[in-house]
Amino acid sequence: MVNSIVSISDVKFSYPAGIAALKDVSFEVAQGERVALLGPNGSGKSTLILLIAGLLMPNSGEIRVFGEKTTSKNFQMVRSRIGVVFQDPDDQLFTPSVIEDIEYGPKNLSLPDEYIKAQSGYVLEKLGIPHLKHRPPHRLSFGEKKKVSLATALVLKPELLILDEPTANLDLVSRRGLIDTLNELSKAGTTVIISTHDVEAIPELVDRIVVISHGLKLGEGKTCEVLLNKNMLEQSGLEQPAIVNLFTEFKNQGLINKIPLNIEEGKEVLLKILKNHPQ
């Protein structure tokens, strides 16, 4: 793949108890792409996230990020180009205040104080959480913690942003804000990899999907191709998005030719149906 940011070749990984989490997984992610690792809980996608970030090492196979092997001694040099947001924000937040958590990474890299303050203020405003600046993280709601976790990653302006189940347990407002923020980052050139089983959010978040099930890659393709592949999704223990199920019925009845994947597209198609078939 041209301008590959992440290259995964025949990767196997087993935990010490002998549980095989990944079996010969291979795929690539190009610069600027938005890719989802889609699979049910326990499929191995969170393990894959940790491997890409260099927090776990493969038993066999190879992972390269920005051209550097994750097993290389030099991989530490590219870590500052990668932002990781864990599924559980309590795994990421550990200082007495929100601002200290956000500034921890830049200070650890010995960046200038003036830059750190400016960039921290920017991400706080961007995520709509400047009022949380001096709050202790353990006193925040789960959705607020998620936003702070994202801020700790964004403050370093990562070229590659990796998120594990970013929409899990978010209320509708926080979910909408997160989707909008990730899409803005993508438009600005950030490469985004998302591990998720949330098929409802995927159409707005990614351009391509890699389906993972029981440690195996079942397939990959454009978002529309994968979400319309009912057999593949069912094989991996997932269902199609509700909007796909609904408009598949319309297509089966000959009312439409193309199935919409998000609400805005669905509204347009529904209005056309009503216009062409008035009661």
* DSSP H or E segment with residue 243: helix 242-252
**Looking at residues 195-224, what average pLDDT do you find?**
92
Q: Is the pLDDT of residue 227 over 90?
A: yes
Q: Please tell me the predicted confidence (pLDDT) of residue 121.
A: 93
> Which band of pLDDT confidence, cut at 50, 70 and 90, is reported for residue 262?
confident
Q: pTM to 2 decimals?
A: 0.89
> Which band of pLDDT confidence, cut at 50, 70 and 90, is reported for residue 2?
low
Q: How far apart are CA 232 and CA 29, in angstroms?
A: 21
Q: Please tell me the predicted confidence (pLDDT) of residue 1.
A: 56
Asked whether 191 and 156 are in contact (CB, 8 A), the reply is no
Q: Please tell me the predicted confidence (pLDDT) of residue 17.
A: 79
- Which residues, including other chains, have CB under 8 Å from residue 36's CB and lie 6 or more apart? 193, 194, 195, 196, 202, 205, 206, 208, 209, 210, 223
Q: Please tell me the predicted confidence (pLDDT) of residue 101.
A: 95
Which among 156, 208, 212, 213 is positioned nearest to 185, based on CA atoms? 156
What average pLDDT does the structure give for the chain? 90
Q: Please tell me the predicted confidence (pLDDT) of residue 272.
A: 85
Helical H segments across 10-112, by residue range: 45-52, 98-108
- Which residues, including other chains, have CB under 8 Å from residue 125's CB and lie 6 or more apart? none
- C-alpha angle with apex 159: 134 to 174, nearest 5 degrees? 45
Written as six digits, the tokens of 275 are 């216009």
Between residues 211 and 76, the one the model is more confident about: 211
Q: Is the pLDDT of residue 92 over 80?
A: yes
Q: Please tell me the predicted confidence (pLDDT) of residue 263.
A: 85
**Looking at residues 174-192, what average pLDDT do you find?**
86
Which pLDDT tens digit goes with each residue over 20-65? 899 999 999 999 999 999 998 889 999 999 999 999 999 999 999 9
Distance (Å) of CA 91 to CA 133, 146, 211, 229, 231: 19, 11, 26, 35, 35
